[in-house]
Amino acid sequence: MAFQIPSFDLTGRAAVVTGGNRGIGRSIALGLAHAVAAMAALALVPSNAVANHSAEEAAALAAANRFLATLSSKDSAAYAAATIPEGRGTGTEIKVDGSRVFFTYTFEELVKFLPTAVPDGSIEALVDPMVRVDGDIAMIWSDYTYTVNGELSHCGTDHFDMVRQDGAWRVFNLTWTTRHEGCEALLALADSGSATTNIAKGNTAATWTMADATVFPTNRSLTHAEDGVLLGDGRLLVGDWDHGLVALSPDGTKRPFGHFAAAGFRAKPDPLWNSPNGVSWDPNGRHVLVADITGGHIYRVDTQTEAVIRLYDHLFGVNAVVRDPSGAIWFTQSTENEAGERSEARMFSAGDKPLGDGAVWRISPEDVGKPDPVAIKVVDGLDFANGIAFDTSRGRLYVAEMIANRVLSFAVDPQSGVLSDRRVLAEMPTPDNLELELTATFGPSARSPTPYM
């Protein structure tokens, strides 16, 4: 048989509302609590989250997703870092003719097959993952669907055994089934958005409302915590005006994260100050991309060494940035706000009335990492382009057009990056950051029509 390792990219697929401790961020969270129930705030988290260890469960699930992302990207180094070499991958398959197959390898053996074992364009999407944690062990059980270049191939069940070592979750064992019956129904469930993400004890989905929330951290010390990602050890990385990023621990303590000064980062009162805005995972599961909405820079941060490099300098501010599995970088330009003293004022002006100078840009995989990469404008004429999300399983790009009160959806050619089939995916009051839910269904965060200060 042709050996297949389950692979998909769920980088950053936990929807969060950010900056929820005060001002506009609190208004965003309040508006979202009425519109979308199953969302968590980055600065307003459930009061029972720590008591029920849901933060640890989310961290274990994020680590499993990053491991699967390394299979999709075929990044051997990141794969090795996400696993325990002595652990095993074990698969069973019920073939179309009814015959049954069993195979097992150590992760140390599996890494040798990584460049050839995973078909190009293959995506495995979890449906209703359940997570349980006790101390430094975790178990994840989930149905999944497996597509190749958008076509359904098969489905099955994944079972992860996770172990926390030196503060980081790693995969110790992965066991999966492969079947060809009942897959269409499972895919329909995932596409419908009816599936829920079970990050709780038993089978009860974790659902947050403002009534369950509390201010976090209690000292309200975050500065412009617009966006963030969850690390494998349970800490949050959030944007910060003074340092670029800060690492926020579950107990509310924080510290600067990343050597941003070495990459030319400037803080207030410098007139060319930088304002970290969108934060997203690179598909390799190790690096984080940070967008600068006043200075127009895109930074890449190594979460293991904290080294920071500046990947790209845009003429105008960059609101949000994502990288797809091919290595291409996509980012939004909200308005034509050149770096300098008037950059922030221009941005807020574009947030008050339609200016039509928002855009989406793409940097090809071949250009990423070059000294002078070239970005190509792929969408223009937008009224404050804001959040952006790449849905690998469906081959779609989602863009929040905030002042137009809608979220746009585009089909993406995987080879050329050309966009087509432009649609209005959803209409809602001033959509902001966009993320994909853990079930690989669409889940935009939204801000309220009138900011609460």
Q: What is the CATH number of the domain that holds 442?
A: 2.120.10.30
The Cα–Cα gap between 312 and 349 comes to: 25
Residues 168 and 237 both lie in one domain: no
Residue 104 lies in a domain: yes
Which CATH number goes with the domain that contains 102?
3.10.450.50
Residues 42 and 94 both lie in one domain: no
Residues 186 and 226 both lie in one domain: no
Residues 29 and 137 both lie in one domain: no
135: region left, alpha or beta (phi > 0 left; psi from -120 to 50 alpha): left
Identify the bridge partners of residue 238 per DSSP, sorted by sequence position. 228, 246
Residues 295 and 160 both lie in one domain: no
Residue 198 lies in a domain: no
Label residue 205 by pLDDT band (50, 70, 90): very low
Where a domain ends, among 160, 192, 224?
192
Residues 39 and 139 both lie in one domain: no
Label residue 38 by pLDDT band (50, 70, 90): very low
| 451 preceded by a cis bond (ω within 30 of 0) | no
Label residue 293 by pLDDT band (50, 70, 90): very high
Residues 176 and 293 both lie in one domain: no
Q: What pLDDT, on the 0 to 100 scale, is given for residue 305?
A: 96
Residue 226 lies in a domain: yes
Pick the range with the lowest mean pLDDT from 41-55, 83-97, 197-211, 263-277.
Answer: 41-55
Residues 342 and 436 both lie in one domain: yes
Label residue 190 by pLDDT band (50, 70, 90): low
Q: Buried (b) or exposed (e) across 7-38, using 16+ Cβ within 10 A?
A: bbbbbbbbbbbbbbbbebbbbbbbbbbeebee
Assign 141 to helix, strand or coil. Answer: strand
Whether the predicted pLDDT of 249 surpasses 70? yes
What single-letter amino acid sits at 120?
D
Residue 335 lies in a domain: yes
Residues 180 and 224 both lie in one domain: no
Whether the predicted pLDDT of 436 surpasses 60? yes
Residues 170 and 300 both lie in one domain: no
Q: Give the mean model confidence (pLDDT) for residues 4-23.
A: 38
**Domain tally for the chain?**
2
Residue 365 lies in a domain: yes
Pairing of the two strands 236-240 and 228-230: antiparallel
Where a domain ends, among 131, 159, 192?
192
pTM of the model: 0.59
In the numeric block, the tokens 């064992």 are attached to 173
Whether the predicted pLDDT of 187 surpasses 90? no
The Cα–Cα gap between 54 and 62 comes to: 12
Q: In terms of C-beta distances under 8 Å and separation of at least 24 residues, what long-range contacts does 20-23 make, across chains too?
A: 20/44, 20/213, 21/215, 21/216, 21/217, 21/220, 21/222, 21/225, 22/220, 23/451, 23/452, 23/453
* DSSP conformation class of 197: -
Q: Give the mean model confidence (pLDDT) for residues 30-58.
A: 41
Residue 432 lies in a domain: yes
Where a domain ends, among 192, 218, 251?
192
Label residue 312 by pLDDT band (50, 70, 90): very high
Residues 28 and 103 both lie in one domain: no
Which one has a higher pLDDT value, 94 or 405?
A: 405
Q: What pLDDT, on the 0 to 100 scale, is given for residue 60?
A: 86
Whether the predicted pLDDT of 191 surpasses 70? no
For 173, the domain range is: 54-192
Residue 11 lies in a domain: no
Dmax (CA) of the chain: 69
Q: In the chain, what is the straight-line distance between the N-terminal and C-terminal CA atoms, in Å?
A: 61
Contact call for residues 318 and 291 (beta carbons, < 8 A): yes
Residues 39 and 143 both lie in one domain: no
Residue 7 lies in a domain: no
The Cα–Cα gap between 16 and 196 comes to: 15
Q: Give the mean model confidence (pLDDT) for residues 91-115.
A: 83
- In the chain, % of residues over pLDDT 70: 79
